[in-house]
Amino acid sequence: MSEALVNPEPGTAPTGRLDVDRVRQDFPVLSRQVHGKPLVYLDNAATAQRPLAVIESMDRFYREYNANVHRGVHQLSVEASEAFEKARRTMAGFINAPSHREIIFTRGTTEAINLVAQSAFRPSLKPGDEILITRMEHHSNIVPWQILCEQTGAVLRVAPINSAGELLVDDLAGMITERTRLIGIVHVSNALGTINPVREVCRLARRHDIPVLVDGAQATPHLEVDVQDLDCDFYCLSAHKMYGPTGIGLLWARESLLEAMPPWQGGGEMISRVSFSGTVYNELPHKFEAGTPNIAGAIGMAAAAEYLQSLGLPAVAAHEQELLDYATGKMEQVEGLKIIGTAEGKGPVIAFTLDGIHPNDLGTIIDHYGVALRTGHHCAMPVMEFFDVAATARISFGLYNTRAEVDVFLDALERARKMLD
Amino acid sequence: MLAGSETGGDNKSMSDAPPQTPASRSLDALYKRIILEHNRSPRNARLPDGYQASARGFDALCGDDIRVAVCLEGEKLQETGFEGEACAVTTASASLMTEWVRGRRIDQVLDGARRFRRVLDNPDQPDDPQLGELNQLRSVSAFPSRVRNALLPWKTLEAALAGKDEVNSVTKEPNP
């Protein structure tokens, strides 16, 4: 049997399982020490680390063919434009978008949602129209709609969740009215880990002819996303959550929707002809990409997508779910520890509180054992309010985390408790 | 007693001690006896009866949420108390603050707040004798992300004395 058949993808073991030891070597930062201890990076939901494939793709752009895109006839500009547009096609493939014309590069999920709010909805929304979101949204899928509601007189309605942190889909269905103009839903909750039944919500919305926007920031590092299968209308993601660079993400929307939307920001790149008697806007997707784009970012994002595809997202997900199960089981046995977010289907995120120890103190002490975790409200203050906690601590796994690292975390947790008891 | 796990009184607790690096020594310094003790048994951890001024100090990022209330006698802070949910640093700082301000005039208290900020901002300077035990909190300077916790009670007290209802210590918010 040839080697290619035994080990068809880099980083995957013959069984299709993720070869974590090998994968870890792709991430230079994982070899560093923090406070004299090996780094245990469990803050992946905040931002993931970058593999060499991403770092080198961006480095290569800057070293070898740095130029502006879609402007020059010179060789470097041609190469940069090709790489930039290739990145767009890669990202289209990554979420199975029907056309690369539907991929709009943005600064990230937040900007993508703001673009939709201001371009797709602000011109047409009337007082009394409704935007329906869920209780577990990240601030980035709340505040743009609050701003829009202030601007238009529309009303923001919020579908409830249960004590496990699961969306109450029937309640959401009951909140749909003839004034509902959009349903906004997070695919995977950053604060709770909950994987929402997005396909079901889209099916429901389709019956009422209501478009659905999906905040996919926490989904694309862990799940194979197929926007056609989900049957949503807008999908937003951030590269840095999925091992790509910061400052880049995208909006996917159906071409018919994008064609009907007016430009959001004006400037270069988004026009085809400018005169003082009138300006003609560029075609999709450039109509929504005013100014020189984040070229290196787009190239790095595509490299991250290709990296994930090379490992195979099912293998990544299986590994992360195993870690999630292992850590959850262990943490349930820790006295005074309460896991916030116990949905049936979860991404690799565990938020928790520990009796007698404020998350702030826990974060500081645990850091000194080399463990990076997040404490605070996780940009989801309505979720904190629902669970009646001011803050939680949160561990979140990436594809390079190991059981041994979970054990280091659990050990540090006990030490923190001893220190403060 | 409570220092046992820090200092390692027996063989077993040697392995429980944090790794000995310069940074972890300052971790020990941060959670030193006085802070742990004031966190466990905070002084004046209730709002005094008949207080004339109070404010809420809320740090949305950390989840610290306290209220500080003051009984004044003329210009003097006769009694100051606090309540709420907060981390060990905020709690200990509030506890030490309420003791320090007792019987001092408003202008002295505001001067104390300025001095306290100054010593936190300048770790290389010697202790400020005016601040007495408050100097013990200077160890937070080695933890830039925790300085806000030590300052929250003071900002809240300042707000109460200025007649403000709420002080929000969040100035910037990183992405999740």
Contact between A331 and A338 (Cβ < 8 Å): no
A54-57: long-range pairs with CB below 8 Å, 24+: A54/A243, A54/A244, A54/A245, A54/A300, A54/A303, A54/A304, A54/A307, A55/A28, A55/A300, A56/A303, A57/A299, A57/A300, A57/A302, A57/A303
> Cβ(B28)–Cβ(B3) under 8 Å?
no
Provide the 10 A C-beta neighbour count for residue A114: 21
* Three-class secondary structure of residue A179 per DSSP: coil
Cβ-in-10-Å burial (0-12, 13-18, 19+) of A367 comes to: buried
Cβ distance A368 to A35 under 8 Å?
Answer: yes
Answer yes or no: is pLDDT of A378 > 90.
no
Mutation target for B interface from A358, A379, A415, A421: give the one with most B CBs within 10 A.
A358
β-strand A249-253 against A234-238: which pairing, if any? antiparallel
Question: Smallest Cα–Cα separation from A326: which of A411, A388, A410?
Answer: A410
What is the per-residue pLDDT across A92-132, written as a single tens digit (0 to 9) for each? 999 999 999 999 999 999 999 999 999 999 999 999 999 99
Nearest to B161 by CA among B10, B57, B38, B62: B57
| Cα–Cα distance, B13 to A348 (Å, whole number) | 33
> With 60 as the cut, is the pLDDT of residue A174 above it?
yes
**What pLDDT was estimated at residue B171?**
38
pLDDT in the model for residue B14? 41
CA distance linking residue B70 with residue B82, whole number of Å:
9
Confidence (pLDDT) at B61:
81
Contact B48, B58 (CB under 8 A): no
DSSP H helical ranges for B9-130: 11-16, 22-30, 33-40, 88-101, 106-121
Q: What is the CA radius of gyration of chain B?
A: 17
**Residue A11 — pLDDT band, cuts 50, 70, 90?**
low
- Letter for the amino acid at A334? V
**Residues ≥6 apart with Cβ < 8 Å to B130:** B111, B112, B115
- Cβ-based burial of A315 (10 A; exposed 0-12, middle 13-18, buried ≥19): buried
| Cβ atoms of residues A249 and A111 within 8 Å | yes
- In the structure, what pLDDT confidence band is assigned to residue A304 with cuts at 50, 70 and 90? very high
Confidence of residue A289 (pLDDT cuts 50, 70, 90): very high
| Structure tokens, A180 | 């509902």
Q: What is the least distance, in Å, from the CA of B23 to any CA of chain A?
A: 6
Both tokens of B112, joined, read 């104390």
Percentage of chain A beyond pLDDT 90 is 87
The pLDDT tens digits for B159-171 are 999 988 777 664 3
Are B176 and A421 a contacting pair at CB < 8 A?
Answer: no
To the nearest whole angstrom, how far is the Cα of A368 from the nearest Cα of chain B? Answer: 6
With CB atoms and an 8 Å threshold, state whether A376 touches B62: yes
* B interface with A, Cβ–Cβ below 8 Å: 2, 5-6, 16, 18-21, 23-24, 27, 30-31, 36, 39, 60-65, 85-90, 143, 145-146, 149, 173-176
Handedness of CA B143, B149, B152, B154 (dihedral sign): negative
The band of A279, judged by pLDDT with boundaries at 50, 70 and 90, is confident
Please provide residue A44's backbone torsions phi and psi, each rounded to the nearest 5 degrees.
-70, -25
Contact status, residue A68 vs residue A292, Cβ threshold 8 Å = yes
Q: Residue A258's closest CA among A367, A376, A104, A394?
A: A104
C-alpha distance from A377 to closest chain B C-alpha (Å): 6
pLDDT at A2: 41
Question: Would you call A379 a catalytic residue per the annotation?
Answer: yes
Q: Which residues pair with A34 in a beta bridge?
A: A37
Tens digit of pLDDT for each residue in B7-62? 333 333 444 555 444 444 578 878 888 999 999 999 999 999 999 999 999 988 88
ipTM above 0.95, yes or no: no
Strands A278-281 and A155-159, bridge-based pairing: unpaired
A390 near A327, Cβ under 8 Å?
A: no
A and B: number of Cβ contacts within 8 A: 93
Domains of chain B: 4-30 (no CATH), 44-168 (3.90.1010.10)
The answer to whether residues A249 and A374 touch, using CB atoms and an 8 Å cutoff, is: no
Residue carrying structure tokens 């977010």: A341
Rounded to the nearest angstrom, the minimum Cα separation between A284 and chain B is 30
Inter-residue contact A165 to A192 (CB < 8 Å): yes
Q: Looking at residue A12, what is its pLDDT?
A: 58
Answer whether A384 sits within 8 Å of B30, measured CB to CB: no
Half-sphere exposure of A115 (CA within 13 A, CB side): 32
The answer to whether B175 contacts A46, with C-beta atoms less than 8 Å apart, is yes
- pLDDT the model gives residue B108: 97
Q: Do B21 and A364 touch (CB under 8 A)?
A: no
pLDDT tens-digit map of B101-131: 999 999 999 999 999 999 999 988 899 999 9
Weakest mean pLDDT among A4-8, A244-248, B25-29, B62-66: A4-8
pLDDT number for residue A278: 85
Tell me what pLDDT residue B172 has: 35
From the candidates A149, A202, A236, A379, which is the catalytic residue? A379
Q: Mapping DSSP to helix (H, G, I), strand (E, B) and coil, where does residue A163 land?
A: coil
Of all residues in chain A, what percent carry a pLDDT higher than 70? 96
CA dist., res. A13 & res. A292, Å (int): 41
Cβ–Cβ under 8 Å, residues A380 and A349 = no
- Chain A residues within an 8 Å CB radius of B24: 35-36, 368
Each residue of B56-102: pLDDT tens digit? 999 888 889 999 999 999 999 999 999 999 999 999 999 999 999 99
Q: Which of B63, B89, B176 sits opposite A391 (nearest CB)?
A: B63
Cβ(A341)–Cβ(A351) under 8 Å?
yes
Residue A193 has pLDDT above 60, yes or no: yes
Using CB atoms, which residue from A45, A358, A360 is nearest to B176?
A: A45
pLDDT over 70 at A3, yes or no: no
- Looking at residue A8, its amino acid is P
Q: How far does the CA of residue A419 sit from the closest CA of chain B (Å)?
A: 6
Neighboring chain A residues of B175 at a CB cutoff of 8 Å: 46-47, 379
The whole-chain average pLDDT of chain A stands at 94
What domains can be seen in chain A, in order of their start residue? Answer: 3-49+313-420 (3.90.1150.10), 55-309 (3.40.640.10)
SS3 A18: strand
Q: From residue A193, how far is each of A24, A162, A219, A268, B34 by CA, in Å?
A: 24, 14, 10, 40, 38
> Which has the minimum average pLDDT: A29-33, A126-130, A248-252, A374-378?
A374-378
**CA pair distance A116, A133, nearest whole angstrom:** 14
Q: Is the dihedral of CA A145, A245, A224, A342 positive or negative?
A: negative
DSSP lists the bridge partners of residue A375 as A393
Q: Name the residue in chain B with its Cα closest to that of A108.
A: B175
Q: What is the DSSP string of B46-77?
A: SPPTT-SEEEEEEETTTTEEEEEEEEEETTEE
Q: Is the pLDDT of residue A381 over 80?
A: yes
